[in-house]
Structure 1
Amino acid sequence: MAPPGSRRWAYVRVMAGTILGGVLGFYVMHRVETSYKARLARMEERLRRYEAHMLAKAKEAQQLKDEAQRDDKAQLLPDS
């Protein structure tokens, strides 16, 4: 049987390992979460810029289409 001091030292090591492992696990998960949120924010910003760009392109295309239709109508109608 192990001496009483040795058993006490084993308990201390187990408790210290458990506490330190919990702290390390919490720190790692905190870092993962913050990096994920930062990456998500960057992705959302890129999406907003892309959507604004696509809306501007659609608006420009619609304006060009409207101008072409006006030109076609102007050519069809005789000047009075």
Structure 2
Amino acid sequence: MASPGSRRWAYVRIMAGTILGGGLGFYVMHRIKTSYKAKMEEGLRRYKTHLLAKEKEAQQLQDDGCREDQAQLLPDS
């Protein structure tokens, strides 16, 4: 049978390990979450930039098409 001091020390180790393990787990999950959010924000920023570039390119193609149509409608003098 274990002595009372030994049993008390075992309880202290279990409680300390639980508290420290919980703190470490919280810290690690917090770091993972902030890293993930930063990556997602960067990806979203790049996606928005890509969409704006495509929209600008489409608008430019449409403007070029309108100019060609106008050039065909106007007679050459």
Which TM bucket (shorter chain)?
over 0.9
Q: How many residues align?
A: 77
Alignment of 1:54-69 (within 5 A): 54-69=54-69
Give the structure 2 partner of residue 50 of structure 1: 50
TM-score (norm 1): 0.90
- The aligned runs of 1:14-25 (5 Å cut-off) are 14-25=14-25
Gaps of at least 5 residues in structure 1 are none
User: Percent identical across equivalent pairs?
Assistant: 47
The TM-score, its normalising length taken from structure 2, stands at 0.93
Alpha-carbon offset, residue 72 of structure 1: 1.2
Aligned partners of 1:10, 1:33: CA distance in 2, in Å? 34
Within 5 Å, which residues of 2 pair with 1:1-80? 1-75=1-75
Q: Deviations over 1:9-31 (max 9, x none)?
A: 00000000000000000000100
1:5 maps to a residue whose letter is G
Pairwise CA RMSD: 1.3
Deviation, 1:36, is: 0.8
Letter in 2 for 1:66: C
User: How far did residue 57 of structure 1 move?
Assistant: 0.1
